[in-house]
Chains A and B, each alone.
Chain A
């Protein structure tokens, strides 16, 4: 199984500041044929199911604010929130879909 490890486990960022969450996979999730990284990012608020933010490591889902961006390739990925808003308080997860079983990172709790 591919192990996904996020860092940090939690972080606190001031409103309007940048938040950066990292995700590392135990093996590459880059498909060399199509040059796509099979990685997604989710946001989960208390009492709600997760919501997809990013897929193909950097493609923003429709309706997701452009302050959210994804980057990285191979085994190292980053979710960046450029200017933190109060509504961004949540737990964030990365997920690989390069191979089954699908696996998630352990989550990063983002606070103000």
Chain B
């Protein structure tokens, strides 16, 4: 059974940093790109970004409003993906999900929808 478990959320002050983890099991993690998606309370879904696999040099891509502040990484030896968030703003308050995609990648582009999701971890940015 595929399981994704996010952790690391909590309360952080504006301007602060936080690193989220996503522990994966039940599938070949090293062979799967991974994504992060967030959702503010009562709001819609917002794609944060993705990380590809080792043979694609762990290439990353990010949503427009996250570039430069958020960094996705992974440790295949630990079956874990990470989301480093810096310079946090109040509007970053949300539940953060990691997701295992389905679809394919071709050359430099990936075409993914999201097959499996974690339960999410809440990040609250407030003074």
Instruction: Please list the residues of chain A having a beta carbon within 8 angstroms of any beta carbon in chain B.
Output: 1, 38, 40, 42, 48-52, 55, 61, 93, 95, 97-107
Contacts and interface: CB of A to CB of B under 8 A. Distances in A.
B29 interface: no
B119 A49 contact: yes
Interface in B107-124: 109-115, 117-120
A93 B46 CA distance: 11
Interface residues of B, number: 24
Contacts, number: 57
A2 to B, nearest CB: 11
B34 to A, nearest CB: 13
Give the residue among A48, A100, A105 with the most B Cβ atoms within 10 A: A100
A99 B108 CA distance: 11
Contacts of B47: 101-104
Contacts of A49: 97, 117-120
Interface of B: 35, 44-47, 50, 61-64, 97, 102-103, 109-115, 117-120
Q: Is the interface of A mostly helix, strand, loop or mixed?
A: loop
Given A48-B119, A50-B114, 17 more contacts: A50-B117, A55-B103, A93-B44, A93-B45, A95-B45, A97-B112, A98-B111, A99-B109, A100-B50, A100-B61, A101-B62, A101-B63, A101-B64, A102-B47, A104-B44, A104-B47, A107-B45
